[in-house]
Amino acid sequence: MFTALCIEIFDQSIRDYHVADDIHQSARNPYENASIEHLLYSKNWIDTVQWHLEDVIRNPAIDPVKALEMKRWIDRSNQERTDMVEYIDSYFLDKYKNIIPAPGAAINTESPAWAIDRLSILGLKIWHMREEATRADATEEHRQACSRKLEVLLEQQRDLSKAIEELLEDISKGRKYMKVYKQMKMYNDPSLNPVLYGQKTGQ
């Protein structure tokens, strides 16, 4: 199943990140550049770094200048994440390009890659909740509460995987069809963000 491959690669990326556990480290993607595996690993690496950036920026003692730098880093990361989702959707568009939708075929509420994006984030939630459920310096009450949450996350992972597999099957059989809208991030675009274009016009 495709989702089993996703989960395996996401887990590998998360494990690789936590060897050094450093937001400044570079990814060492082990997969061939043109492969879907390479895209999946890169996608999760971006998510993993951003997860830890979000932790750092919430430190109450963080220097305000440092926090602003982190916020801009997170903005860049969000754009990279969106770009990577679109690359993954391009893979599916090419894979199913010869499929003719059946009469009455429906469009899904989200593309396959945006569902896979949720599966990637879910992998991070599972990793970190498992850490909390086994934390030696936490109370037994904390560990038990996190163990219960972990079970819910694992159930969610199973359910989401099943839904993605069903979506891909529907697309391959022409029962559903893909339609991808390029995400138009406005806050990073100097021509769309009024704070940025206002600076240019002297407003």
Residue range 65-120, pLDDT digits in tens: 999 999 999 999 999 999 999 999 999 999 999 999 999 999 999 999 999 999 99
Q: Among residues of the chain, what percentage have pLDDT more than 70?
A: 89
Chain centre to alpha carbon of residue 36:
15
Answer whether residue 16 shows pLDDT above 60.
yes
The torsion defined by the Cα of 153, 159, 164 and 166, in degrees rounded to 10, comes to 170
107-154 pLDDT, tens digit per residue, is 999 999 999 999 999 999 999 999 999 999 999 999 999 999 999 999
pTM of the model: 0.89
Tokens representing 41? 């690993």
Answer whether residue 203 shows pLDDT above 60.
no
Strand ranges for the chain from DSSP E: 106-107, 176-177
Q: What is the pLDDT of residue 179?
A: 86
> Are the beta carbons of 43 and 120 closer than 8 angstroms?
yes
Answer whether residue 157 shows pLDDT above 90.
yes
Residues 6+ apart with CB under 8 A from 91: 36, 39, 113
Band of residue 183 on the pLDDT scale cut at 50, 70, 90: low
Q: Please choose, from the candidates 44, 51, 19, the residue with its C-alpha nearest in 3D space to the C-alpha of residue 29.
A: 44
Count CB-CB contacts under 10 A for residue 156.
Answer: 15
Answer whether residue 155 shows pLDDT above 90.
yes
44-67 pLDDT, tens digit per residue, is 999 999 999 999 999 999 999 999
Q: What is the pLDDT of residue 181?
A: 77
Q: How many Å apart are CA 135 and CA 30, to the nearest integer?
A: 30
